[in-house]
Structure 1
Amino acid sequence: MTGQTQTAGTVAGAVAPAAEARDISKRYGATVALHSAGITIARGETHALVGRNGAGKSTLVSILTGLQRPDSGHVQFDGTPAPALADRDAWRQRVACVYQKSTIIPTLTVAENLFLNRQAGRGLIDWRGLRRRAADLLDGYGVAVDPAALAGSLTVEQRQLVEIARALSFGATFIILDEPTAQLDGAAIERLFDRMRELQAAGVTFLFISHHLQEVYEVCQNVTVLRDARHILTQPVDTLSREALVAAMTGDAGETLAGVDRPAVPDSAPVVLDVAGLGLSGFYEDIDLKVRAGELVGLIGSGSSGKVALAETIAGLRRADTGTVSLAGNTPKPGSVPAALAAGLGYLPQDRHREGLVPLLSVAENATLPITDRLGPAGIVAPARQRAVAQRMIEMYDIKTDGPHQPVNGLSGGNAQKVVLARALSNDPKALVMVSPTAGVDVRSKDSLLRAVTEAAARGTGVLIVSDELDDLRSCDRVLVMFHGRVVREVSRGWADAELVTAVEGVEEP
């Protein structure tokens, strides 16, 4: 593979790599997901795969697991070509992926999950024998779980270990762990790492994907960095400084934020969002933050940081165990979306398809949902008035559509997101909370969305942008960094990419 450093433990003429992807390219329409990228993973090692969102990690994993076919390049396991995509049994014998979102079926027992579609040989299922086989399998890998227990009763840690045992039962000795620590506490993480080391000593190979760079140095021998769909480096972990690793992920480590010319928000501006002592068990604790009128505040953190759960609590989708949320001096009923909206909140959710839109309704119906009481007498919507309001929104937010009547499920991702933003701003909110506002949208739509947010702030709306995309945060007056449920740092305008990434990844400062 062009430009790739020889991986430790792989020597020409010696043992073939456990897995190898060379010169992999993959496009989705105009989007280049991978360009001549690849990875070589030595047998018996734990190899880290890191990169910012959009770097190409997920696409590479989908190709390594046979879920996607590369446009060019090839994959090998133990020196032999990968099976045909249709031969799923052959893939399971070579590689398995334990995803951050568990694939365990909660309503089945542990034994049934372990031997799903393999319960019986010929004739009826021997349930006692199945549980015995499951117990032997779990004991063999040191997993202390009752095979008769419902999988839904397991902890996250137990589900991960069951998935690893299931993968090994097919004969696979190459396991991909996708963000395995995202939902684990410190003690569970250490137990997972101990188990990984034991399995590694027994010949199991791991590809470890994590946003926590500290973990890369704890458990991995080699690391591969992808950036902008390309392979950047593969290097032994103990020869790579944390600063060099961050620089490889972000590009020029010295590049600072430029072009931000918004005037500073005065301290005298009223507070429109006040979060005090907010805590929710398992997600975050003791959160304090304030957003002033006209201020753009960023909130960044990894998947396990608690940032999305915090945003959902502010919006009334979750109810905190402790603390309060105030909007423009009012304290809405906790855990109530209508109360939060009535108090002056606008909200753009993380998943526009599942949480942000009613797909069979039109652009006009979706965009005007919060203000239907203004579109006619006695709560009756006047269609002509609704169309007129929606048309103004279409023009204001540059929504590419056939007109207010078009169903939103016919829009592109970027234009659908503009409809969600238009709805969030339709009732002139005092505060706007946005989660991953530009996820899955093209560059032009991204610029249009962020410009609309900046204009809303100029009109006096206080904005909290919850995102791990650095471009979403470049116009923010300040950025708060969350790590494992706490705000650990506040970074003022003028930050460098490497500074923010270092804080997010939990890299300890020298």
Structure 2
Amino acid sequence: MSALAGEGNAVPAGTPLVEATGIVKRYGPTVALQDGRLTVLPGESHALVGRNGAGKSTLVTILTGLQAADEGTVRFDGEPAPPLADRDAWRRKVACVYQRPTVVPELTVAENLFIADIAASRSTWLGFRRGRRSGSRPPDKHSINRQPLGRGGLISWRRLRAEAAEVLDTWDVHVDPDARTADLQVEDRQMVEIARALSFGARFIILDEPTAQLDNREIERLFTRMRALQESGVTFLFISHHLQEVYEVCQTVTVLRDARWITTAPVAELPRAALVEAMAGEAVAERSASRTAVAAGAPVALDVRGLRSESFYEDIDLTVRHGEVVGLAGSSASGKIALAESLAGLHTPTGGTARLDGRPLPFGDVQAALRAGVGCVPRDRHDEGLVYGMTIGDNATMTVLNRLGRYGFVGTDRRRDVAGELIERLDIHAEGPDQPVSDLSGGNAQKVVMARALASDPRLLVLINPTAGVDVKSKESLLSRVDSARQDGTAVLVVSDELDDLRRCDRVLVLFHGRVVAEHPAGWHDHELIASIEGVDHG
């Protein structure tokens, strides 16, 4: 197979390169996409924007052939999309460069360029490469079927490097073919993935949050490369939370909201305020409920000064008073979660200080942070919040075992009593403390995580996406715990992508590229907050 695939058959002028219409995708009772539409013209950079949960990721999985739509059609160059099982045909049509690299870091650039299926061939390739000097045959053709072969069906490493250099040169990617991919900068790894996709013949590249790990200089270099590739006939679908980037590099934008297509328009004809309004919907006219402001004389619980962590956040100053609820908002790459996790003891910042009630807050030690008075609801209850092989009582009391007995022994009756009180306090619908936590619904499981955070009577409560994946009733129950904590004098830090979670806050700080760029007191308009999150300046 040639390193450079052909351009494909000619299509009538004006035919969309990609066209998706009437896309519907359901997961059980959940409708992930109700009316997905997208029309991308050849050679353009087309933005796809929307708040979290709008349906962007679902549409991408359908556009890349990872799953089939329940209803609707996808066409490339006017022709129906290939069958899902024909992965080679899909690779010739489209590729997605994700925020997290899909290259194999232990392999060279050249080797990565010629792997057909990264996921299936990582271990196979590594094992084969170690023995390549012995004249071993390449791995199974269904795992890797693009490597140039020499005599006897063996891989020709000289040709592989030469053809890799040709691919890189064709697409103006200045990377050494023999370089270990793990040693490359993020922007160079992205360009290797793009070059790899183009070598299959694909001319439609989806970039999913490509600037999330890049600084301003690297972002500008990426955009320069994108413009050059567009001039060579490459088409991009650009997904980003940073709307100023949409205006800088894209010609057309499509907005999804609440799993539906809202609008498609030329970027130059859509004012930023109108774009934010399209993303926010009717809620732009609503205001947050008013509340009595925290007294200026209320004692400061959390005092953060100059906190920074390489690649995540920098120069963070913030305070949270006792009885105050402060929100942290921002895109997935804003650094808000890393900051909250640092305060909960999960990470160690590279500089700055944080004090809780005047005492230094320990970093990088969850148990020490717990002893210092920090309670935390982590961002993912499945991986970080619950031990599914244990009971509700075991999970709920995990942070207070020292209170349940003496000399390292836990009193069974005492644990059951404390767990029963927490079940009642959080309104957890369960048979009792001895019921396996794995039996619970998502909402009740999240209440167990909240119960564990509250069990230690924390002075600082850090909540990360506290209502993610729960039903409306459970969400209201969980948020009422935030109100109760405020009334008890607890300092609360809420990190969330959900506007309803942030409405409970006395004020919301917005992070953008690792810095606090705005502060909104209670009563903010949705479109004002979203504009700050997306980096849009309405001033």
> Under TM normalisation by the shorter chain, which class is it?
over 0.9
For 1:272-310, what per-residue CA distance to the aligned partner results, in whole angstroms no more than 9, with x for missing partners? 111111112222211110111111100111122211111
| Shift, 1:129, TM fit | 2.3
Whole-Å separation in 2 of the counterparts to 1:477 and 1:471:
13
1:162 to 192, 195, 202: 192
Q: 1:266 to 1:141 in 2, by over 3 A?
A: same
Deviates more, 1:28-37 or 1:400-409: 400-409
- What's the offset of the Cα at 1:253? 6.5
Letter in 1 for 2:57: S
SS at match of 1:252: helix
CA distance in 1, matches of 2:436, 2:174: 51
CA deviation vs aligned residue, 1:5-26 (integer Å, no higher than 9, x gap) = xxxxxxx974311111101111
Q: CA deviation at 1:504?
A: 0.9
Structural mapping, 1:173-184, within 5 Å: 173-184=203-214
**Amino acid in structure 2 at the alignment position of 1:435:** I
Single out whichever of 341-350 and 113-122 deviates more from structure 2: 113-122
Q: Distance in 2 between matches of 1:359 and 1:343?
A: 27
Residue 299 of structure 1: aligned partner: 328
**Aligned: 1:35 with 2:34:** yes
Q: Which residue of 2 is the match for residue 491 of structure 1? A: 520
C-alpha distance after superposition, 1:316-353 (max 9, x if no partner): 22212221111122213332222211110011112222
1:114 corresponds to 2:113: yes
Q: Aligned-pair distance for 1:133?
A: 1.9
In 1, Cα distance between equivalents of 2:148 and 2:460: 58
In the alignment, structure 1 residue 231 sits paired with structure 2 residue 269? no
CA offset at residue 451 of structure 1? 1.2
One-letter identity of the residue aligned with 2:161 = R
Displacement after TM superposition at 1:229 (Å): 0.9
Kept in 2, the 8 Å contact 1:96–1:172? The answer is yes
Match of 2:417 in 1: 388
Aligned ranges 1:61-80 → 2 under 5 Å:
61-80=60-79
Runs of 4+ that moved beyond 6 A: none
What's the C-alpha RMSD, in Å, of the aligned pairs?
1.7
CA displacement, residues 137-164 of structure 1 (integer Å, 9 cap, x when unaligned): 1122111222222222121111111111
Equivalent position to 1:367, from 381, 396, 407? 396
Q: What is the match of residue 358 of structure 2?
A: 329
SS at match of 2:538: coil
**CA, structure 1 residues 143+426, in 2 after alignment: closer, same or farther (shift >3 Å)?**
same
Aligned to 1:9: none
Unpaired segments ≥5 residues, structure 2: 1-10, 116-143
What is the identity, as a one-letter code, of the residue corresponding to 2:231? A
2:296 maps to amino acid: D
**Are the aligned partners of 1:328 and 1:343 in contact in 2 as well (CA < 8 Å)?**
no
Instruction: Report the CA distance between 1:402 and its aligned residue.
Output: 4.0
Q: What residue is the counterpart of 1:4 in the other structure? A: none
Cα pair 2:288 2:522 within 8 Å, conserved: no
Query: Which of residues 154, 175, 180 is equivalent to 1:145?
Result: 175
Is the contact between residue 458 and residue 490 of structure 2 (CA under 8 Å) also seen in structure 1?
Answer: yes
Change (3 A) 1:120 1:443: farther
Alignment CA distance shift 1:127-1:506 (3 Å): same
Q: Distance in 2 between matches of 1:478 and 1:245?
A: 25
Find the counterpart in structure 2 of residue 6 from structure 1.
none
Q: How far, CA to CA, are the matches of 2:205 and 2:431 in structure 1?
A: 47
Moved more, 438-447 or 469-478: 438-447
Q: Is the CA contact (8 Å cut-off) linking 2:377 and 2:385 kept in structure 1?
A: yes
Residues 241 and 266 (structure 1), Cα distance of their counterparts in 2 relative to 1, 3 Å cut: same
Q: Which residue of 2 aligns with 1:454?
A: 483
Structure-2 residue corresponding to 1:196 = 226
* Alignment length (residue pairs): 498
Paired residue type of 1:415: N
Q: 1:359 to 1:150 in 2, by over 3 A?
A: farther
Give 1:265-344 correspondences, 5 Å limit: 265-344=294-373
1:478 aligns with 2:477: no
The answer to whether the 8 A contact 1:363-1:419 is kept is: yes
In the alignment, which residue of structure 2 is the partner of 1:251?
Answer: 281
Give the distance between the partners of 1:334 and 1:245, measured in 2 at CA: 40
State the alpha-carbon separation in 2 of the partners of residues 475 and 246 from structure 1: 22
Q: Is the 8 A contact 1:25 1:35 kept in 2?
A: yes
CA deviations 1:460-497 (Å, max 9, x no partner) are 11100112221110011000011111111111110000
Distance 1:412 1:107, change over 3 A: farther
Counterpart code for 1:56: G
Letter paired with 1:480:
L
Query: Which consecutive residues of structure 1, in runs of 5 or more, have no partner in the other structure?
Result: 1-11
Q: Is the 2:288–2:524 contact (alpha carbons within 8 Å) kept by the matching residues of 1? A: no
Distance 1:46 1:213 in 2: 14
Please tell me the residue identity of whatever aligns with 2:456.
Answer: N
Percent identical: 62
- Please give the TM-score of this superposition, normalised by the length of structure 1: 0.94
Measured in 1, the distance between the counterparts of 2:284 and 2:205 equals 36
1: distance between equivalents of 2:177 and 2:411?
60
Give the stretch that moved more between structures: 409-418 or 75-84.
409-418
Paired AA for residue 159 in structure 2: G
For residue 130 of structure 1, report the CA deviation from its aligned partner.
1.9
Aligned residues of 1:328 and 1:344 also touching (Cα < 8 A): no
Secondary structure of the corresponding residue to residue 407 of structure 2:
helix
Instruction: Write out aligned runs for 1:38-57 (5 A).
Output: 38-57=37-56
Q: Following the alignment from structure 1 to structure 2, what is the Cα–Cα distance between the partners of residues 304 and 196?
A: 21
Whether the aligned pair in 1 keeps the contact of 2:203 and 2:234 (CA below 8 Å) is: yes
Aligned partner of 1:102 in structure 2 is: 101
Q: Distance in 1 between matches of 2:430 and 2:156?
A: 58
Q: Report deviation, 1:176.
A: 0.5
Give the secondary structure class of the aligned counterpart of 1:381. Answer: coil
Match of 2:531 in 1: 502
Distance 1:372 1:422 in 2: 14
What letter is aligned with 2:228? E
Contact 1:246 1:253 in 2 (8 A): no
Q: 1:82 is aligned with what amino acid? A: A
Q: Does the aligned pair in 1 maintain the 2:330–2:533 contact within 8 Å?
A: yes
Report the CA distance shift for 1:400/1:128 in structure 2 as closer, same or farther (over 3 A): farther
